[in-house]
């Protein structure tokens, strides 16, 4: 008699009440099949639901246990991803099932996809040929099926192919199944798709590196031969980081390992995708957010089956079902898009580090402007810092000029373009070269204000001004989506002097067309790049010189490589400096450095003009001098004085309710609970700030109050903090939400 086996499962229900493993008895018939990572059906209360096996036990926890009903998928999750999901739920304050969902196929097996009927032999090739000989005279079609299966081997053949080759019908197949000679297995069929990004030529794998690239490559190769190693490549824009990534991927594959490449946004990094697809076309998978649900599902299954050994994708690709990972690359590691804004609020960099340690992988973090947290680790000697300070081919970095817009205003230039930028655009166009104009915001104007009484049009549900859009003309809230018609008269004092203030890409486009009527102007922002492949179409048209001027927001600041762009104009460099966020200076510097890197990437010299109302700010001054180290030292001084990351870790607690009083009370009581249950906090070793209203106090009808917890090594306390918050949430009554975010990147 078999020894009894018990499975610990996580129920596929998103609820705090069931956020723990439940134990079920494994039926004797499933004991050989069920393993950690299997998906099963289990009875729960009065219904049957899906669950995921996270542990197997020899002893029961209670006397009476219910039995697993059926096995859905023996290997739904590999064991690595089960362990990862547990760590993730504790580290980033989510329910375990929410973390598991990140590791499952897109659509969580609910995607409608085409399946192929695969006919698999149940006997060896020799035995199949013997059976074929026996039945050839009385069952010719069956014998032909067996003959072709014998030639195909263990992988079998699709039924549609067998039908065409043999002329056999369904009855012939059923007869062979009944005799126990073959079986049918349904597998997802690979869908042919196009994302609009072509594969480049494979390229010269023996390309000669520059001396700096060669030195970095030697250090990367050492990493493959030693213990798992994390490396930071600090390389200026155009310094050849991508070729190093490609060479490292080849090295990993040659060692029988797999490769994971992470980029901040798929649609905005066509250059790196082209190169990887060209170099690894037969083994390449792109986990692309712009693919249809079915296409994403099938690409995921290519990775799961081992057909694709090189995976490139954005944030969620860090959960790709790769096994034996030898290399993880995180390009532009400083980018905010690597941080998930919804639960689980993970950072892909932290997950990449976990998977690299689990698999013994080389982890390459690359950036022209590394995040302060990563740079501080390198500065402290925790990770090697590899530098690429020169562009490939010795091309110079673009010259950068700062224009003081206060002076322009004093001299009665009230237009968008300073006189210096207008002249530079005109000269660039006359030479037949291209221009990029960058603006760090969206909309025609940021808000409407009455010049007579000062009234500002605001969203009734969110405590922020409405953004004006010109096409079609309307006001819109970019937090909850509220829209209304733009008024002709002030709703408060009825004055006609209500005007649009601020600046948006549509207004820049309008003035560019007016100032340079002979130039074709193209705009790329979240309003124009709508629909599948829209980004690629706009960028391809600009690359083909169908437009001379490209206007855009953050979408055009990174990853783009246009040889004929010799001028970049930054319209309002300091807008992002005024956000209520301690990272505002860092973000401004990174953004300016990235967008400046779009100029002069070909054989022609590049030039950048930065327009600003705060020309003295150290972020803008450092960006203008390509002085990353100067900026870092100044920013580190400020962070150290305020005890902000990288000199501490932070946890943000956000309490919200439709009633402001309840939101404030909830945050106050949570503060008391945290102090009571965390001895280090009550002893004054750490700092708990608040409660205070969130910078944007009201979003979507809910008032928000924050607590901010600062201290060293808070990651070690995540599990106990999670337990405190979960227990506290059990006491809450009414429509109150508590959200916890570990090391948030935005605190608005």
Q: What's the pLDDT tens digit per position in 446-497?
A: 677 776 777 778 888 766 778 777 767 888 876 567 888 989 898 988 888 7
- What pLDDT is attached to residue 326? 95
At 564 the pLDDT is: 87
Are 278 and 372 members of one domain?
Answer: yes
- Which has the minimum average pLDDT: 8-22, 184-198, 668-682, 714-728? 184-198
Per-residue b or e along 637-652, where b marks 16 or more CB atoms closer than 10 Å to that residue's CB: eebeeeebbbebbbbb
User: In the prediction, which pLDDT does 192 show?
Assistant: 43
CATH number (domain holding residue 662) = 3.30.70.590
| pTM greater than the 0.85 cutoff | no
Report pLDDT for 419: 94
201 token code pair: 């030529």
- Same domain? For 302 and 367 the reply is yes
Please check whether residues 423 and 554 belong to one and the same domain. yes
Which pLDDT score, from 0 to 100, does residue 663 have?
Answer: 94
Domain boundary among 639, 660, 684: 639
Structural domain contains residue 204: no
> What DSSP string runs through 458-506?
B-SSSSSBPEEEETTEEEE-TTT--EEPPPSS-TTT--S-EEEES--HH
Q: What's the pLDDT tens digit per position in 702-741?
A: 999 999 999 988 988 999 999 999 999 888 888 899 999 9
Structure tokens at 498: 């209500």
Domain assignment present for 199: no
Percent of the chain with pLDDT over 90: 45
Are 426 and 483 contained in the same domain? no
DSSP character at residue 67:
B
Closest listed residue to residue 598, CA positions, set 553, 627, 628, 568 = 568
Q: Which residues contact 127 (CB under 8 A, 6 or more apart)?
A: none
Are 225 and 340 in the same domain?
A: yes
Q: Quick one: 411 and 559 in the same domain?
A: yes
b/e map 412-423, b = 16+ CB within 10 Å: eeeebbbeebbe
Q: Confidence band (pLDDT; 50, 70, 90) for 443?
A: very low
Same domain, 380 and 304: yes
pLDDT for 188 equals 60
Q: How far apart are CA 151 and CA 121, in angstroms?
A: 11
- Please indicate, yes or no, if residue 296 is contained in any of the structural domains: yes
Q: Report pLDDT digits (tens) over 340-375.
A: 989 999 999 999 999 999 999 999 999 989 999 999
Q: What is the reported pLDDT for 471?
A: 67
Compare 211 and 396 and report the one with higher pLDDT: 211
Are residues 608 and 554 located together in one domain of the fold? Answer: yes
User: Which of 154, 188, 222 marks a domain boundary?
Assistant: 188
CATH code for the domain in which residue 77 is found: 3.40.1440.60
Q: What is the chain's length?
A: 748
Number of domains composing the chain: 6
- CATH number, position 286: 3.40.50.300
Within a domain: 316: yes
**Does residue 63 form part of some domain?**
yes
* Cα separation, 253 vs 229, whole angstroms: 17
Please indicate, yes or no, whether residues 178 and 310 belong to a single structural domain of this protein: no
Q: Is 80 exceeded by the pLDDT of residue 27?
A: yes
pLDDT of 273: 82
Domain that includes residue 666, residue range: 649-742
In a domain, 110, yes or no: no
Q: What digits encode the pLDDT tens for the residues 419-429?
A: 999 999 999 99
User: Are 236 and 372 found together in one domain?
Assistant: yes
The pLDDT of residue 151 is: 81
For residue 203, being part of any structural domain is answered with no
Average confidence score pLDDT of the chain:
86
Mean pLDDT is highest, among 320-334, 390-404, 501-515, for 320-334
The pLDDT score that the predictor gives to residue 433 is: 92
Choose the final residue of a domain: 76, 102, 128.
Answer: 102
Does 489 share its domain with 568?
A: no
Whether residues 257 and 278 fall in one domain: yes
Domain-embedded: residue 98? yes
């Amino acid at each position: 008699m078999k020894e009894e086996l018990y499975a610990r499962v996580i129920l596929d229900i998103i609820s705090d009440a069931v956020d723990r493993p439940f134990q079920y008895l494994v039926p004797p018939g499933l004991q050989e099949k069920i393993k950690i990572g299997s998906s099963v059906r289990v009875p729960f209360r009065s219904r049957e639901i899906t669950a995921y096996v996270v542990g197997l036990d020899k002893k029961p926890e209670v006397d009476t246990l219910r039995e697993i009903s059926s096995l859905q998928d023996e290997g739904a999750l590999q064991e690595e991803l089960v362990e990862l999901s547990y760590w993730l739920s504790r580290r980033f304050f989510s329910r375990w099932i929410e973390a598991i969902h990140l590791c499952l196929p897109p659509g969580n097996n609910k995607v409608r996809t085409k399946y192929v009927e695969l006919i698999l032999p149940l006997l060896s090739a020799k035995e199949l040929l013997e059976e074929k000989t026996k039945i050839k005279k009385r069952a010719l079609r069956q014998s032909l099926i067996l003959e072709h299966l014998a030639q195909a081997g263990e992988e079998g053949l699709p039924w549609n192919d067998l039908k065409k080759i043999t002329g056999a019908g369904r009855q012939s197949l059923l007869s062979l199944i009944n005799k126990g000679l073959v079986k049918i297995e349904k597998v997802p069929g690979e869908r042919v798709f196009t994302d609009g990004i072509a594969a480049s030529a494979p390229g010269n794998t023996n390309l000669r590196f520059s001396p700096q690239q060669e030195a970095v490559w030697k250090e990367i190769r050492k990493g493959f031969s030693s213990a798992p190693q994390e490396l930071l490549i600090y390389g200026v824009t155009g310094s050849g980081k991508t070729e190093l990534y490609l060479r490292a991927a080849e090295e990993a594959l040659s060692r029988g390992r797999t490769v994971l490449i992470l980029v901040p946004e798929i649609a905005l990094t066509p250059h790196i995708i082209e190169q990887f697809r060209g170099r690894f076309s037969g083994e390449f998978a792109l986990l692309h957010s712009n693919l249809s649900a079915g296409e994403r599902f099938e690409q995921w299954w290519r990775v799961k089956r081992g057909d694709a050994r090189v995976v490139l994708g954005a944030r969620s690709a860090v959960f790709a079902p790769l096994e034996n990972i030898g290399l993880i690359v995180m390009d532009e590691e400083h980018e905010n898009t690597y941080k998930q804004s919804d639960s689980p609020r993970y950072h892909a960099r932290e997950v990449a580090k976990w998977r690299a340690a689990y698999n013994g992988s080389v982890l390459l973090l690359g950036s022209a402007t590394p995040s302060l947290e990563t740079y501080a680790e390198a500065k402290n000697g925790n990770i090697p810092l590899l530098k690429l300070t020169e562009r490939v081919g010795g091309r110079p970095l673009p010259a950068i000029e700062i224009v003081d817009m206060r002076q322009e205003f004093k001299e009665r230039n009230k237009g968008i373009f300073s006189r210096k930028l207008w002249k530079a655009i005109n000269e660039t166009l006359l030479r037949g070269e291209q221009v990029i104009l960058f603006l760090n915001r969206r909309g025609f104007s940021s808000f409407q204000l009455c010049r007579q009484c000062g009234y500002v049009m605001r969203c009734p549900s969110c405590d922020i001004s409405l953004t004006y859009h010109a096409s079609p003309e309307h006001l819109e809230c970019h937090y909850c989506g509220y829209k209304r018609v733009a008024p002709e008269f002030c709703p408060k004092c009825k004055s006609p002097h209500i005007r649009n203030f601020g600046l948006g890409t549509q207004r820049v486009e309008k003035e560019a067309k007016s100032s340079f009527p002979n130039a074709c102007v193209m705009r790329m922002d979240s309003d124009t790049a709508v629909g599948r492949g829209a980004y690629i179409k706009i960028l391809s048209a600009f690359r083909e010189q169908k437009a001379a001027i490209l206007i855009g927001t953050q979408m055009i600041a990174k990853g783009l490589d246009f040889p004929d762009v010799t001028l970049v104009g930054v319209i309002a460099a300091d807008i992002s400096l005024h956000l209520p966020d301690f990272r505002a200076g860092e973000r401004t510097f990174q953004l300016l450095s990235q967008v400046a890197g779009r100029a002069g990437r070909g054989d022609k010299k590049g030039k950048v003009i930065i327009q600003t109302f705060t020309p003295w700010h150290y972020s803008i001054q450092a960006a203008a001098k390509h002085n990353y180290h100067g900026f870092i030292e100044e920013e580190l001084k400020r962070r150290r004085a305020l005890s902000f990351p990288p000199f501490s870790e932070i946890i943000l607690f956000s309490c919200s309710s439709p009633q402001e009083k309840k939101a404030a009370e909830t945050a106050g009581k949570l503060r008391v609970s945290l102090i009571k249950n965390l001895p280090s906090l009550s002893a004054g070793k750490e700092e708990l700030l608040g409660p205070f209203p969130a910078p944007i106090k009201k979003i979507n009808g809910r008032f928000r109050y924050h607590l901010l917890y600062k201290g060293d090594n808070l990651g070690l306390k995540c599990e106990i903090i999670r337990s405190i918050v979960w227990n506290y949430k059990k006491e809450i009554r009414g429509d109150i939400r508590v959200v916890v975010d570990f090391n948030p990147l935005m605190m608005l």
